[in-house]
Structures are given as structure tokens and as C-alpha cells.
Amino acid sequence: MENQSTSGATVLAAHNVSKEVSSPEGSLTILDDVSFNISAGESIAVVGPSGAGKSTLLALLAGLDLPTNGHVVLNGANLSELDEDGRAIVRAESVGFVFQSFHLVPSLNALENVMLPLELAGSEDARGAARNIIDKVGLGDRWSHYPAQLSGGEKQRVAIARAFATEPAVLFADEPTGNLDSRTGSNIMELMFDLNRSSSTTLLLVTHDLSLAERCGRILSLDAGRLVSDTRSAA
């Protein structure tokens, strides 16, 4: 299991978070009174069966949606006290995303995709910083290629480089190996764990792969919208 420190300051916290949505049958509870604290530098897996509320929880933790009850504190900001623009600013300053479907900009080459969040953040040397992390993810000789010229694994490496480029407080990864073969997926996760260890970024991984979850320092298990277990790896 990945050796993660749990002694850092709290970087992400859910306080009695619930989410209800309307349906033809009436109100439907997606998440029910979920609470936990996550410290800087941890690696966390969120697991559970389909429909357990994993993706909804990720959206709430990242401020992409607001809970019906309770609140989320992300890097010191109570997201429920902010409007949509305020939450967007917190995300830009504190969050990175890696998705199953890559979400690269097709008209930009690999380097330019990684430069994009750095430029938006006002980096003085976006190109230099992007080149550095492109090298770290093993694509130093592919930086000028466009997404259509890259394999699935290479696209995900670019996506990971882009996510880590701004050194976010929290990196949210939603089934990041879902579109990759097992060997490529394993290599991608090695890369993510390596970057997690070498930076202060907290990794929160939504996955259905229990063997992958067990490599994280901590596992949050959801079932029918409730947090049914919160287990840590051996120190």
C-alpha cells in the first residue's frame, strides 16, 4: 500500500453532507449524512457499487454541485457560502481533475494542453513549467503531438500532467484507468502515485477496482448513499 502521511492539516472535509434530487416518485436521497476529514498528502479511494453516490460525492467535494444539507470545506473555503463564481475560483486555485475520457483540447498539442491551466493561473513561465512536468510523465519526445496523434495511455499522461501542473491542493481522479487496457492502466496509476508522493497534492480516486483502491492510504466505502466504512492502511 502507498505510504501516506495523515499528520498534515485538513485540506478537505465533508460535514453531514446529504444530497436529494426530485424524481417522478418523489424526493430521492443520493447521499445521506456523509462526514469525514482528509489531510494534506493523503491518497484516498472512494469505492462502492454502481449507484452508491460516488460521482455525486466527488462533484460535491469539488464544488461542482452543492449539498442539500451539510457543507464541504475545501482548502479552508466553505463551498456552501460561495456563489458559483466563488466556487470556480476555489477550484482554479486548489483543484485538479483527471477523468476517464481525458478531456484534452484537440486543437492544442500536448505541451499547450498542459500550459493551459498554468496560463490561466498567471504563471510567469508556463512553457517552462509545462515542459518540466511533461518530462516527468515520460512524454518529453511527444510534447508537440496533438491528442489525435497520441495513444490512450499517452493522452491520460497529458491529462495527469495538466492536473498536477498547478500543484493543486487536491487532485480528483474519476475512474482514470476506465478507458485503458490493464497494463497501461497500471502504468498510469504508478505515475499518479509517484506524483502524489513527490508533491503535497492530496489524491482522491473514485474507482470500482478494489486492487487499485487498496494501494491508497485510505478507503471510503459508500453503499446506498451512506458512508459504511472508512479504513486506513497500515502505517
Each residue's pLDDT tens digit, 164-192? 888 889 999 988 877 778 888 888 888 88
Q: In the chain, where are the structural domains located?
A: 10-232
Q: For 10-232, which CATH superfamily applies?
A: P-loop containing nucleotide triphosphate hydrolases (3.40.50.300)
Look up the pTM and report it.
0.85
Non-local CB neighbours of 122 within 8 Å, separated by 6+ positions: none
Q: What is the pLDDT of residues 76-125, one digit of tens each?
A: 999 999 999 999 989 988 998 888 777 899 999 999 999 998 888 888 89
18 forms beta bridges with 69
Non-local CB neighbours of 63 within 8 Å, separated by 6+ positions: 72, 74, 79, 82, 87, 88, 90, 91, 95
**CB distance 12 to 61 below 8 Å:** yes
Question: H-helix or E-strand containing 93?
Answer: helix 84-94
pLDDT > 70 fraction of the chain, expressed in percent and rounded: 96
